[in-house]
Amino acid sequence: MAQKPSIPKGTRDFSPAEMTNRNYIFDSIKSIFRLYGFQPIETPAMENLSTLMGKYGEEGDKLLFKILDSGDYLSDFDEEQRYLITDIINREKEIISKLKNYQNNTSLIRFFESTKDDLFNIAEKKLVINEIIKKSEDGTKWISTLKLNTLKNEVINTSRDTFDNLLKKKIDKFVGKDKGLRYDLTVPFARFVVQYRNDISFPFKRYQIQPVWRADRPQKGRYREFYQCDVDIVGSDSLLNEMELVQIVDQVFAKLKINTVVKINNRKILAGIAEVIGEKDRIVDITVAIDKLDKIGLDKVNEELIEKGISQAAVDKLQPILHLSGSVSDKLTQLESAIGLSEVGSKGIAEVRTLFAYLDTLQLTTEVELDLTLARGLNYYTGAIFEVKAKDVAMGSICGGGRYDDLTGIFGMPGVSGVGISFGADRIYDVLTQLQLFPSETVDSTKLMFVNFGAAEEAFCLPVLAAVRKAGINAEIFPDKSKMAKQMTWANNKKIPFVAIVGENEMLQGKINLKNMVTGDQQLVDPQELIKILSA
């Protein structure tokens, strides 16, 4: 039976038409990045796991895709290492083979008592823990109440898991480094900066457009594989950088015609809040919980805070701060009264005040607001944080980011501050699709197709086709001599707006019959006129 084609959950295929729309997004974003002087880089899809672990908080670490080594890995090991690995594999085969041959519980359980294999003894302990087998009342032998096939399956599966886990540990030890698919582009970028510190000029402005992977539960607007479009500046503390990032957000979404709201907060303010409510050391737990406010509501956030050990008194002190309202100036004034005695909190307030003063000098089309409940769950943020949402579509954030003061420090290069934002291309794609904002024609689209009536017509059309392409116009010729209806249907399916029809009469006149596929109008033109019309 033929295998049914499928792809993993949380991933997607993209047709040519969809890729045309995706490239429209990427090209639009890149054009704005370049406008502000950012340069492109790329990093590998996989990183050493040590690079990724511990950078995204406990919940983020759980979503990392870890890579199991495959291929002819034994060829890289020395003779002793190969012996140890093959020994485990052979012992597993031998024990599993024996287990499969037992015909009753008594003989199977007798094997538990008689085997001296240390690996199976580990499996035996797991069977005891899981209450698959137990000691008899007098403690002299193993017993089980399970049916033979069930018991046999449990023993075999537990044994396999034991052998496989040990085998993986041995291989990991010999290989030296576990690997994982990148979770975002920011941490690999920090690694890149440190690794190539002598080859780049600071402040370093880079953009990067590549896929990332997260072992998340797939749902609307949430994928396991998706593209991020990142733009970062490292090596500068100036809040002018934050201002420029907001400008970039404004111009990108204006170009894409998406109405957005940019929410801004500062992690120093959140640290100040944690300090004044008496939970200074629980900033991570507090920010992770607050970050879920829009998703689960205030009551659930409060429950989570209590479950994580935050005192009820601290949770009560937090409530008025989460409900601050009014203009940016009003919120900051109220905030100063609430956390002004905290040094780090006061610094956060000053940074927000400066950033909004910069933004007030700009003519932004996007709405910008101070949202004191915005937390951004990632551990590495230390200053301004941003989140962007589409106003006309019910969806999560389509862009976000913030400042990180010492992300490079974990790679041995302390004191290098950076700030960046990431555009979620896949969510932006969904927004543009729902709002029907993709242009009908893009730079990827074929603008003209030549109908193919045979060898003579081909000979006439090919030089004209070459001239059209030389003029920068996307054009093609139907590859086979086919019925006119078939060729016109093909052009329609590809949404090609113009078709060039050349038959015997057109060749005698040195002309092309140009048909507009949208209006149905036709006109007889020479090659120069054809190029002029299509270039307009």
Cβ neighbours of 102 (radius 10 Å): 17
pLDDT at site 463: 97
Token reading at 123: 């499996």
Which CA distances in Å does 321 have to 180, 274, 304, 524? 39, 11, 18, 72
**Alpha-carbon gap, residue 496 to 505, rounded angstroms:** 24
**Alpha-carbon gap, residue 255 to 264, rounded angstroms:** 22
Q: Which fold has domain 8-62+183-257+424-444?
A: BirA Bifunctional Protein; domain 2 (3.30.930)
Domains 8-62+183-257+424-444 and 259-391 share a fold: yes
Instruction: Check residue 14 and give left, alpha or beta (phi > 0: left; psi -120 to 50: alpha).
Output: beta
Tell me: cis bond preceding 203? Omega within 30 of 0 counts: yes
Q: What is the pLDDT along the chain (536 residues), one digit of tens a residue?
A: 788 999 999 899 999 889 999 999 999 999 999 999 999 999 999 998 889 988 887 778 888 988 866 555 555 555 666 556 666 667 667 766 766 666 666 666 666 666 655 555 655 655 655 566 666 666 555 556 666 677 667 767 776 676 666 666 655 554 445 789 999 998 999 999 999 999 999 999 999 999 999 998 888 768 899 999 999 999 999 999 999 999 999 999 999 999 999 999 999 999 998 898 888 888 778 877 887 877 788 888 888 889 888 889 888 888 888 888 899 999 999 999 889 889 999 999 999 999 999 999 999 999 999 998 888 766 788 999 999 999 999 888 999 999 998 888 888 898 899 999 999 998 999 999 999 999 877 667 899 999 999 999 999 999 999 999 999 999 999 999 999 999 999 999 998 999 999 999 999 999 999 999 999 999 999 999 999 999 98
Which residues are paired to 523 by β-bridges? 514
**Alpha-carbon gap, residue 402 to 383, rounded angstroms:** 7
- The C-alpha angle with vertex 306 and arms to 301 and 402, in degrees rounded to 5, equals 50
C-beta separation of 431 from 394 below 8 A = no
Q: How far apart are the first and last CA of the chain?
A: 55
**Alpha-carbon gap, residue 93 to 164, rounded angstroms:** 11
Q: Which residues contact 387 (CB under 8 A, 6 or more apart)?
A: 262, 263, 371, 374, 376, 397, 399, 400
**Chain centroid to CA 504:** 55
Which DSSP state fits 222?
B
- The CATH homologous superfamily of the domain defined by 259-391: Bira Bifunctional Protein; Domain 2 (3.30.930.10)
The CB-based long-range contact list for 212-219 (8 Å cut-off, 24+ gap) reads 212/181, 212/182, 212/183, 212/184, 212/185, 213/65, 213/181, 213/182, 213/183, 214/63, 214/64, 214/65, 214/183, 215/62, 215/63, 215/64, 215/65, 216/10, 216/63, 218/9, 218/10
pLDDT at site 109: 63
**Alpha-carbon gap, residue 218 to 212, rounded angstroms:** 14
CATH top-level class for 448-535?
alpha beta
pLDDT at site 129: 54
Q: Where are the domains of the chain?
A: 8-62+183-257+424-444, 73-175, 259-391, 448-535
pLDDT at site 176: 45
**Alpha-carbon gap, residue 381 to 187, rounded angstroms:** 12
- The C-alpha angle with vertex 380 and arms to 374 and 384, in degrees rounded to 5, equals 45
Give backbone dihedrals phi and psi of 47, rounded to 5 degrees, phi first: -125, 160
Tell me which residue of 283, 250, 305 sits closest to 378, measured CA to CA: 283
In the chain, the amino acid numbered 402 is G
Give backbone dihedrals phi and psi of 120, rounded to 5 degrees, phi first: -70, -30
Tell me which residue of 203, 206, 212, 222 sits closest to 185, measured CA to CA: 212
Token reading at 317: 């002190």
Which CA distances in Å does 234 have to 202, 242, 373? 7, 12, 26
Q: Where are the alpha helices (DSSP H) in 413-517?
A: 425-434, 455-470, 484-493, 504-509
pLDDT at site 69: 60
pLDDT at site 445: 83
Which residues are paired to 387 by β-bridges? 263, 400
Give backbone dihedrals phi and psi of 31, rounded to 5 degrees, phi first: -65, -35
**Scanning the structure block, which residue is given the tokens 């205030």?**
298
Token reading at 275: 């300090």
